[in-house]
Every structure is written in structure tokens, then in C-alpha cells.
Amino acid sequence: MSKIDWDPDTTQGKIIMTLFHWLFLGLGLMGLYNLGTLLLTGSLWVHSGNRSQANWALLNATDAPMGFLWGLLQMFICLMLGGLAVFLFFNQKGTGFEDMVYLDVNYPPGQAPQENALPSALASPSPTRLKPLAFSCQATLATAPAAIVSDIFNLSLWPSFQGYGPLPGIAGAEFEGRPTPDWVGTRIRVTNTDGSSHIEEVKSWDGRQLVMELGSFSPPLERLASHFVETWQFVPLPSGHTLVKRQFLLYPRSWLGRLWLKGIALMLKQAVQRHLVQMEADSKKK
């Protein structure tokens, strides 16, 4: 039996922490429900009994004062745990996914990527004040940046993105209209293996950095997120290889959407990293 990894900086640790957040949030909702019952009826739902005969009973202070006090304690505990979940989800410093882990490489002078420096093209407006979820992945490809970008816009290669778990892969992609000479403004309609779709639009390309915006999602994702922003950064290395970093920002529409996007971001990060590993292997064959 493998040991559980509780480190919050690892994928398994983040999944475990997310499950605990869900549990605490559920208990908080139970506390809110009981608070509403107390305000409307003057009674509380109280969980009592031993392990084999545990049950819920509706009690008030007149008929069962001790049970009523026990119910108040249960309600306050649930409300505190729910408040903790809300704090961890929405008021924590950073996004919880900003784990910019770089490979052990020697960067050319002045070309080392900065961990907290987002490109100006990524400063995309959000329909809410919620911080976007962010993550990044990277790999070293044995080809030049120009060849990598050429492969990115070879849409016949897009089905190599296989998804991860319930996150679907890409079934096909096609240009909407004619691609522009410098790629900026080019729109690509993507169809996923589960039948869902979205549109990717090139926002900028300067020879070292490619920025794309993902939007026009089909349900249910359109109810959770307004858009994603993906940036590809290309750092030529002295060996002739290229360090490729892909960074994502996921913009939620609401607090509830941000909660669901945490789980989506975990799976998307694994899918993107797996795709980069496949691109790395393919580059060595050329």
C-alpha cells in the first residue's frame, strides 16, 4: 500500500486538501440549514445516538434543553468549519496553483523566466473580482522555437492532447476563417472527445512568447469560467534545444465557479504536462 502524500505542493496533496475543503463546506451548509430552521421554528436538528443507532431529531429548548444545547454546539461547529472552508477557498494568499517549478537548466543571460512576472497580454479582465487560478508546466524540446510554433498551428496534431481522467481530450480543430500572416487574431474552433467545444484566439506572438485566449465554452464550463488564457514561452538554450513553458490562467465567473475550477485546474495541469512530455519525445525523433 503506497503512502499518502500530504504535501500541499504535490498534486496528490492538493487533491486531498480539496476534498477536505469540500467536506468542510458541506458541513458549513448543514450549519446554515440548521440556523435557518432555528430562526423559523425555534427548533434544531440534533444528531444523537450511538454508532449503531445514530439518528437526527428535531428538538427545541422547552422539550429537551440538554439536547437543544448539544444541537447548538453542533451547529456552531459546522458553521466554523464552513467558514474555514470559505476562507481557504477564496481568501487565501495566491491561488494555490502558482507552483512555477523550473527545470535545472542554465539559462542564457537575461532569459531566465521570472516566477511572478506575468506577460502584459495575460492581464485579461475578469467579470468578477475573483483571482484567476494559475498553473504552469514546462519541458525541453529538441527543436527551435519556430519549428515548435509551426507544429502548434498544425491542427492535425491537436488530437495528441489526450486529456486526463474525466477531462476530455481534443477530437479535432479547424481554423475559423483564414489565419493571419503573423497569427495574431487567428481563431481556432476546437471539438473535444466528449462533444464539447471552445474557441482559441491568438492574442499575441512576438517570436519568444505566444498568448492565446480560450473562450466561447459549451455548457457546463461556460457557466463556471468566462475564459482561460494560455501563454507559451520559448527560451533557446546553448545546446540548441528550447525550454518551453506553458502557463494558464483560469477566470471564474463566480465563487462557486472558482470552487469547481480548482478541480478542473488539477486535471488540466496533468493533461498539459503529459502533452508536453509527448511533444518532447516527438521532438527527439525529428
Q: How confident is the model over 36-60, as pLDDT tens digits? A: 877 777 777 777 665 555 576 777 7
Cα end-to-end distance, the chain, whole Å? 41
Longest CA pairwise span in the chain (Å): 81
Q: How confident is the model over 140-183, as pLDDT tens digits? A: 999 999 899 999 999 999 999 999 888 999 999 999 989 998 89
Query: Domain spans of the chain?
Result: 11-90, 120-283
User: Can you tell me the mean pLDDT for 237-262?
Assistant: 89
User: Can you tell me the mean pLDDT for 82-102?
Assistant: 51
d(CA 104, CA 208): 20
Cβ neighbour number for residue 149 with a 10 Å cutoff: 16
User: Can you tell me the mean pLDDT for 256-262?
Assistant: 85
Lowest mean pLDDT segment, chosen from 23-32, 50-59, 63-72: 50-59
Q: Inform me whether the pLDDT recorded for 108 exceeds 90.
A: no
Q: How confident is the model over 174-194, as pLDDT tens digits? A: 999 899 988 999 999 999 999
Mean pLDDT of the chain: 78
User: Quick one: cell of 218?
Assistant: 459549451
Q: Inform me whether the pLDDT recorded for 255 exceeds 60.
A: yes
Q: Inform me whether the pLDDT recorded for 199 exceeds 50.
A: yes
Q: Which residue has the higher pLDDT, 123 or 22?
A: 22
- Domain spanning 120-283, CATH architecture: 2-Layer Sandwich (3.30)
User: Can you say whether the dihedral through the CA atoms of 222, 161, 97, 9 is positive or negative?
Assistant: positive
d(CA 10, CA 2): 15
Task: State the pTM of this model.
Answer: 0.62
User: Can you tell me the mean pLDDT for 209-235?
Assistant: 93
Instruction: Give all strands (DSSP E) within the chain, no chain letters.
Output: 43-48, 55-60, 133-141, 170-176, 187-192, 197-205, 209-215, 225-236, 242-252
Q: Confidence class of residue 214 from pLDDT cuts 50, 70 and 90?
A: very high
Structural contact between residues 145 and 241, judged by C-beta atoms closer than 8 angstroms: no
d(CA 12, CA 16): 6
Q: Which residue has the higher pLDDT, 219 or 36?
A: 219
Lowest mean pLDDT segment, chosen from 37-41, 62-66, 90-94, 172-176: 90-94
